[in-house]
Amino acid sequence: MRDVHSNSYFDPGDRRAERVGDLFAGVAGRYDFINDIQSLGLHRFWKRRLVRLARVGRGQRALDLCCGTGDVTFALARTGAEAIGIDFSGAMLAVAERRAARLEDRARREWGGRVQFIECDALQLPFSESEFDAVTISYGLRNLADARRGLAEMWRVARPGGRLVILDFGKPANRWWRTVYYAYLRRLVPVFGRLVCGDAAAYAYILESLERYAAQEGVSAMLRELGALDVRVINLIGGAMSIHCAVR
């Protein structure tokens, strides 16, 4: 069997978070560009769908975990909600802050929303219980050293009736499609990483982390264990991506 620990950015033990931090510090400047290439721009639609499912608007507060360069945080603010994005990577947040500086005047005028970024760990959120109407995480849960704890933190800071919405890579149920899709992640995506960021391993990491990720069934089970209501999974492109929605 192939060694799933062979990727330099995937550490299954105590150094998991540190290695993930190194990965995003290295790719931050090209992250948005490579997202467009590897998903053919589709990630933009999936993120919009995630934000619609969060069902926030003016007068509400939304928290976006592992916000990276801020795509989802900005989209949440565009609804008129107050949006806070958190991430532990200073490099990714620096890109988000640059985008905020360019957008904020327009955002204030057109959306009425507010955007704030905070550098902190998703596993130890600096917020009190029940502070948010919706808590989102996009392509972040798979990267956490402890996904169960990440979900518990989302749960803790969401108000009763608040929404938890999770977008990430998925595991297609259809064997043929899964084989094709995994081959794409194994063979082609690292090539994009090498060409755009000079680092194939940073993108080979996606499949390494996906193989260890609870994905559709496992994340649903963890949400139910927390006591979540209305747990729903939306499969996108045959389950290659998925969105989990739940109500606290």
Contacts with ligand SAM, residue ranges (CB under 6 A): 17, 20, 24, 66-68, 71-72, 87-89, 92, 121-123, 138-140, 143-144
Q: Which is nearer to ligand SAM, 1 or 145 (CB)?
A: 145
Tokens 């994340």: give the residue. Answer: 219
Residues 6+ apart with CB under 8 A from 5: 11, 12, 208
Q: Find the shortest distance in angstroms from Cβ 43 to ligand SAM.
A: 7
Measured between alpha carbons, how far is 222 from 152 in angstroms, rounded to an integer? Answer: 9
Closer of 161 and 218 to ligand SAM (Cβ): 218
Write the Ramachandran bin of 236: left for phi over 0, alpha for psi from -120 to 50, otherwise beta.
Answer: beta
Single out the residue of 235, 230, 224, 225 nearest to residue 245, CA to CA. Answer: 230
In the complex with ligand SAM, the residue whose CB is nearer, 84 or 122, is 122
Rounded Cα distance between 59 and 78, Å, is: 12
Closest approach of ligand SAM to the CB of residue 1, in Å: 26
Residues 125 and 153 sit within 8 Å (Cβ to Cβ) = yes
Residue among 161 and 214 whose Cβ is closer to ligand SAM: 214
Q: Which is nearer to ligand SAM, 67 or 134 (CB)?
A: 67
Report, in Å, the least distance between residue 152 CB and ligand SAM.
13
Closest contact distance (angstroms) between CB of 121 and ligand SAM is 4
Residue nearest to ligand SAM (CB): 68
